[in-house]
Every structure is written in C-alpha cells, then in structure tokens.
Amino acid sequence: IPVEPFDLVVFGGTGDLATRKILPGLYRRFWAGQIPEGSRIIGAARSEMDDAAYRAMVHEAIAEFVAPDKCDKATLTAFLDSVSYVPIDARGTGGWQQLAGLMRDDVVRAFYFSVAPGLFGDLAQRLHSHAIADPDSRIVVEKPFGRDLDSARKLNATLAEHFDETQIYRIDHYLGKETVQNLMAVRFANILFEPLWNAQYVDHVQITVAETVGVGGRGSYYDKSGAMRDMVQNHMMQLLCLIAMEPPYRFEPDAVRDEKLKVIRALEPVGHDDIVRGQYRGGPRKSGDDELSYTEDVEDPHSLTESYIALKASIANWRWQGVPFYLRTGKKLRARTSEIAVVFKEPPHSIFDEDEAWRENVLAIRLQPNEGMNLSVMIKEPGPGGMRLTDVPLDMSFAEALGEDGADIPDAYERLIMDVIRGNQTLFMRGDEVEAAWAWTDPIIAAWEERGDRPKGYDPYSSGPEDALMLLHRDGRRWREIR
C-alpha cells in the first residue's frame, strides 16, 4: 500500500535504537521503493553536529545493519540526501525554532520519540507550543510506557494535553512481526481454525519468549523493571490478545483494539501459586571463565528482580473457560526462540490400539528464529508395519514460502513506521489497552513485593527454574522444548 511523501523527525536520532533499527529500517524501505520522492528524515538529538556529520553516522549505521547487496552507491546517496539533522534539547529552547522552520505544509509530519520516556512530555509540549505539529501529525512513542498503572495514566494524560488519541502511535515491535500479523490472517481468513479455536477443542496455549543473552550492559535499566514489566505486560500480553480475541468486525484499528481490550479486561488475577520467578545463576563457561550471575550483572547482590518468569493466566469468558494460557520468558535460556503454541485436545474416541502413542495436534506459531507456522498432525507411519501412528509437522517457513530467494521479510520496525505514515493504528496499542494491561500486572507485582518473594535460581542456558516445570506438571501437561 503506497504512502504519501512525509517528514519524519527522529528525536533521539543518534541513539542506539535509531541507529540500529529505525534508520536502517527506513533505508531498507527506501531501497524497496516504498519511500516516495520528496520525503525527508530529520534526526534530532542533543549532540551538536551538522548535516554532513549526521549523514556519515547514518551511513555507518546502514553499513553495519543492512545487507551489503542493498547498499549500492546510487541508492545510498539518494537516501542520505533526504537526511538532515537538528541539534535539539527536549528540555530546553535550543533547536526548536530551527525545526519549526523546516516543517512543510503539504506532507505528512511524523515525530518518533526515540528518547527516554521521561522526555515524552517535554517533546509533546514543545511540538505543540512551537506549532511544529499540526492536527494531522503523528507521534510515535517507544516502550516502556509507564512502569505501573499510575505512571501510564499520567503519561497518557500528558500526551493527551497536546495530541488526540488518533495521533498517538504506541509502538510494540512484536506487533510488527510478520508472523504476528499472520496470526490474524490465519485465524480470520480461513474457515479451518476458528471453529476449533475455543475451550471445546483447545487444551491450553503456551507462549514462550526465550533469550540467550543476559542483561549485559543494560543491567541498571533492567534491574528496575524485570521480566514482568519488560516482556509480559507489553509484548506477551499483545500476543495473548491476538490469540484470544473475538473476531473484530473489520480489520480496522479500533475494531481490533476493542477486541484486544476485552481480552485484557477478562484476565483473571493471578495467584502466587501460578507464578514462578527466576534469576540466572553464574557458572563456569566452556572457555574456562566464569559466567556472571544476574546479581553480578546488575551489580546488586541483593537484587530480587526476576530475569525469568512463568505464569498461568486464565481468561474469564465463554470462549476460554478452563483453558490455561501458560506464559514464560527469560534471559540466558537454552535458545533464542519465541513461539506461541496452541495445543489441541485429544480426539473424543480412539479407534486405534491403545499402545499407539497419541500426540496432540499443535499449531506452533514461530516468531523467531525463522518466522513461520507449523501444525503437527498424526499420520500413519509409512511402510508395511501395519497401522502405526506418528506425528509429522506441516511446516511453513514464511521466508521459504514467500520470500524471493529466501528471506526478505521486512523488520518489524520498518513495517510499523510505514503504518505510521499511512495513518494506520491497527498494530499500535491504544491508551486504554496499556492501562488495562498495567491494571492486571500491578497487583501481581505488588503481591510478590509484599511477600518479599525471592526469585528461584536457574542455570545459565537451561530451560529456567525447576519450579516452572511444576507449573505445568501439576496440571498433567508439559512445556514445549526451548530449542
């Protein structure tokens, strides 16, 4: 879907997110011919530098994060010609007049707030007071959106002083992933799945986001948030919503977001028996050095912040009555993998011998690595050995099925930025969704803080704490392997 020419101002345009994701992503869209002529990208950050220096920085970022076969000289030069820079202080006066002078009336204006959330209010206020934003302008805000209900409400209220909800794009890059959107296509563009998508046929759902990295250099930031705030309240909640929501009446922003909101509001409170928190231990590494533990990584031997969490969530509505949604996420786990698995129930009656091991049908939706879907079905084992059953995956890798010569799936950020320019909010969180998610999260965190809950240790590159296995074992189920 084509986009109009635009001016995109990237506040924090020299930062990590901008140079790793936003600017390389914009370049890839430019290379693909999706950025119309006359569009401009304006970096704005605190460092003093001129256009030439900023272009050199952007050039470097592209060289590092874009595949070389997309970096031909002509395209690069044309892209860099559209890039400029304004030194600006979000809290001060410097730079704002200059930015105001650059704005054009005949193009879409978008402002990406790739800065610390403490500056969102300052930026919004100055965009307004310098008449830089117009009623059609969009602002894009990054995570974290608050750290509890109260701060999220305040942030929403601050943005609402200057911008209408239709202008605010709260980004959750999980929603930009190809597979996540495909989940909606699979559910609502096929007749096959929806009739089975309920408590009558679904046994349970597992959502896993496993990382192999520790908190590394982000320790001081991460230690204030932990897995619940950093992953569950936002990304995993969004995945859960897309799995659990009712069919929206149209694929339109508010129709979709209304349905997601209903899911969040129907989430039951989670009791402490249904949560396991973990922290990775240290240990010897293959190289002989010691692997740092979580508390060493964050340099606080007394930290009670979780680097792992597993929980059992329930949705109190007709469709999902009695169907557990098991969520788990953690750092320094066995493999880097994200998947949603919808595990179906047993057939009502088996016509085969009892010793024929039956295995569940599972629809596994893989977000990374290698985005795709996989449906396991039971078939007859080939050969003359009689009727023996085995399960095989009906496997669909999107890169293989759709990409030209393999993978060319756009990154989540570039897809979402294009949606901002198009003015399509479907894949962005609405203010009330974020607040509802915090309203569910807050009491869970408050309860463990009150109890002085200590996270369970787990070995680096394992599947997480032992207790997390029990969360499913006691229900007669087991986690899928992290691999």
Which residues belong to the active site? 235
The 144-173 contact track toward ligand NAD, x by CB under 6 A, reads: x-----------------------------
Residues 6+ apart with CB under 8 A from 442: 148, 149
Whole-number minimum distance, CB 126 to ligand NAD, in Å?
10
* Under rule CB under 6 A, residue 47 binds ligand NAD: yes
* Under rule CB under 6 A, residue 40 binds ligand NAD: no
173 is in an annotated binding site: yes
Query: Which of 22/363 has CB closer to ligand NAD?
Result: 22
Among 4, 16, 194, 273, binds ligand NAD (CB under 6 A): 16
The 10 Å CB-count burial string (b at 16+, else e) for 232-255 is bbbbbbbbbbbbbbeebeeeebee
* Under rule CB under 6 A, residue 89 binds ligand NAD: yes
Measured CA to CA, the distance from residue 23 to residue 43 in angstroms comes to: 9
Query: Which of 32/213 has CB closer to ligand NAD?
Result: 213
Residues 6+ apart with CB under 8 A from 401: 372
Whole-number minimum distance, CB 221 to ligand NAD, in Å?
8
* Under rule CB under 6 A, residue 455 binds ligand NAD: no
DSSP β-ladder status, 325-330 and 308-313: antiparallel
Residue 198 backbone dihedrals phi, psi, to 5 degrees: -165, 180
Closest of 110, 105, 78 to residue 11, by C-alpha:
110
* Under rule CB under 6 A, residue 116 binds ligand NAD: yes
Residue 394 DSSP one-character state: E
Among 3, 7, 9, 14, binds ligand NAD (CB under 6 A): 14
* Under rule CB under 6 A, residue 88 binds ligand NAD: yes
Closest of 259, 234, 251 to residue 315, by C-alpha:
259
Query: Which of 173/281 has CB closer to ligand NAD?
Result: 173
Residue 38 DSSP one-character state: T
- Segment contacting ligand NAD by CB under 6 A, of 53-61, 67-75, 115-123, 363-371: 115-123
Q: Is the backbone peptide bond immediately before 68 cis, with ω within 30 degrees of 0?
A: no
Count of residues interacting with ligand NAD (CB under 6 A) = 23
Residue with CB nearest ligand NAD?
15
Among 50, 63, 91, 369, binds ligand NAD (CB under 6 A): 91
* Under rule CB under 6 A, residue 231 binds ligand NAD: no
- Contact criterion met (CB below 8 Å) for 97 and 88: no
Strand ranges across the sheet with 83-87: 83-87, 40-45, 6-11, 108-113, 138-141, 168-170
Measured CA to CA, the distance from residue 20 to residue 370 in angstroms comes to: 20
Whole-number minimum distance, CB 90 to ligand NAD, in Å?
3
Measured CA to CA, the distance from residue 221 to residue 215 in angstroms comes to: 9
Among 109, 126, 143, 162, binds ligand NAD (CB under 6 A): 143
Compute the Cα dihedral for 359, 365, 371, 373 and give only its sign.
positive
Whole-number minimum distance, CB 407 to ligand NAD, in Å?
21
46 is in an annotated binding site: yes
Query: Which of 16/400 has CB closer to ligand NAD?
Result: 16
* Under rule CB under 6 A, residue 247 binds ligand NAD: no
Closest of 442, 413, 421 to residue 142, by C-alpha:
413
CB atoms within 10 A of CB 271: 11
Whole-number minimum distance, CB 428 to ligand NAD, in Å?
14
Query: Which of 115/315 has CB closer to ligand NAD?
Result: 115
Whole-number minimum distance, CB 87 to ligand NAD, in Å?
9
Question: Quick one: tokens of 264?
Answer: 């969040």
Whole-number minimum distance, CB 116 to ligand NAD, in Å?
5
Residues at the contact surface with ligand NAD, assessed by CB under 6 A:
11-18, 45-47, 88-91, 114-117, 119, 142-144
